[in-house]
Amino acid sequence: MILAATAALTACGGPTTPEGDAPSRTARASRPSATSTPTPTLPVVAGYDVGEIPPVPLFVLPDLGMLDASLAGFAVTVDDAVGDLPGVRVEPARCDAQGIASPGALLAYGDGSGTLTGPDGTVVNYGDGSGSYTLNGTTVTVYGDGSGTYSDATTTVVSYGDGSGSYDDGTTSVTLYGDGSGTWARGERTITNYGDGSGTYADGATTITNYGDGSGLYDGPDLTIVNHGDGSGLVDGIPTDMPELPPVPRLGSFPSMGVLAPVPSCGTRVVLDAAVLFDFGSHALRPDATATLDAVAQVLATVPAARVEGHTDAVSSHELNQALSERRADAVAAALADRGMTGSLETTGFGETRPVAPNEVDGVDDPAGRQLNRRVEIVVPS
């Protein structure tokens, strides 16, 4: 647990790198003597092409500006019902000056700046400074080097002021080591980023490994994909062509605690990864999305109103992405209504205009960032 690690680390600086070594190349399956072109009869990961391995996901650091608006009341009910489903995230909805919910901030990648980047591309730097202040009765202590602590009945945040730090709310834990590496965990789901282009994801049934050299492994209950990193690989032992895997982006720095300020919450946001709902470029809901939609509709069945928002990455044209985001929002709203949601459902599409992660890092395509941007969000006002 991060809390246990915190006590041991207080006297000796920030946390060290993740336990264990980066994934070993020797763990890969041996290479076949010949390859063949892809065939549509080969099995695929839902939502992906033949031979395509999903990226090791990006970390989502909870919005530290909303520590005093952490999940409570209705949001806890929603999180308990759907928060453990793959591709589903529940968070308090941040409000702007007009009271309109906007996406929370995400951890910035690749620049080591210790900043959080908002959906409109603006940068919020939490600075350093010293002193203490209170958020709804909880004391926040800030030291002159940007380090500090926040702790209430459920959540502990420690920033060491050197780009490393930890967050633990009893359900989700995030640790950043300040050197581009870090870990994320919630229940059986874990992500390890080694900071050298390699990383792993596991959820109890499926493991995704990126070895950082273009090769990787997908090991699921009914499918195994081996990417050799040279344009070839195996799908359930059958040779086929597949592109090299891009490296896992380095993690950015943990924000300092200097001028952390509370931000009002105006509702609950349920974020659905498009990969659990749609095939790439499609607005038709897949049959395997049924369980996720059933659970979401059940927990939101009695809300009086909600807004369903569609979002895409920046692949393809602005016009096509705008149309796709609108159709996906309409498809999810219709599915929720069919499942018994009786409240008013407003739909809107934002296309590629509200990314929550970079589509590219240093000019290199970032599949994990694009995946995070392809999403449908359901906003339930307070």
Most confident region among 3-7, 44-48, 128-132, 336-340 by mean pLDDT: 336-340
More confident position, 31 or 254? 254
- Strand 116-117's sheet: what is its strand order? 106-107, 116-117, 123-124
- Residue 254 counted as domain residue: no
pLDDT at 127 over 60: no
d(CA 52, CA 108) in angstroms, rounded, equals 26
| 280 and 224 belong to one structural domain | no
More confident position, 1 or 351? 351
- Residue 325 counted as domain residue: yes
Helices 290-299, 74-82: axis angle to 10 degrees equals 160
Number of domain units in the chain: 2
| 93 and 149 belong to one structural domain | no
219: helix, coil or strand? strand
d(CA 296, CA 308) in angstroms, rounded, equals 12
Mean pLDDT of the chain: 76
pLDDT at 81 over 90: no
Would you state the pLDDT for residue 264? 58
- Residue 318 counted as domain residue: yes
Please count the other Cβ atoms lying within 10 Å of the Cβ belonging to residue 245. Answer: 26
More confident position, 254 or 95? 254
Domain that holds residue 295: 74-111+264-381
Domain termination residue (choose one: 178, 210, 241): 241
Q: How far is CA 197 from the centre of its chain?
A: 17
- Segment 60-67 mean pLDDT: 62
| 89 and 146 belong to one structural domain | no
- The one-letter code for the residue type at 125 is N
What's the pLDDT tens digit per position in 201-256? 999 899 999 999 999 999 999 999 999 999 999 999 999 999 999 999 888 788 76
- Residue 271 counted as domain residue: yes
- Residue 198 counted as domain residue: yes
| 178 and 222 belong to one structural domain | yes
Please count the other Cβ atoms lying within 10 Å of the Cβ belonging to residue 131. Answer: 12
What's the pLDDT tens digit per position in 258-301? 544 445 567 788 999 999 999 989 999 999 999 999 999 998 98
| 81 and 56 belong to one structural domain | no
| 90 and 206 belong to one structural domain | no
- Residue 88 counted as domain residue: yes
pTM for this structure? 0.67
| 105 and 142 belong to one structural domain | no
User: Among residues 63, 85, 293, 96, which one has the least CA distance to residue 174?
Assistant: 63
CA atoms within 13 A on the CB side of 106: 21
- Residue 121 counted as domain residue: no
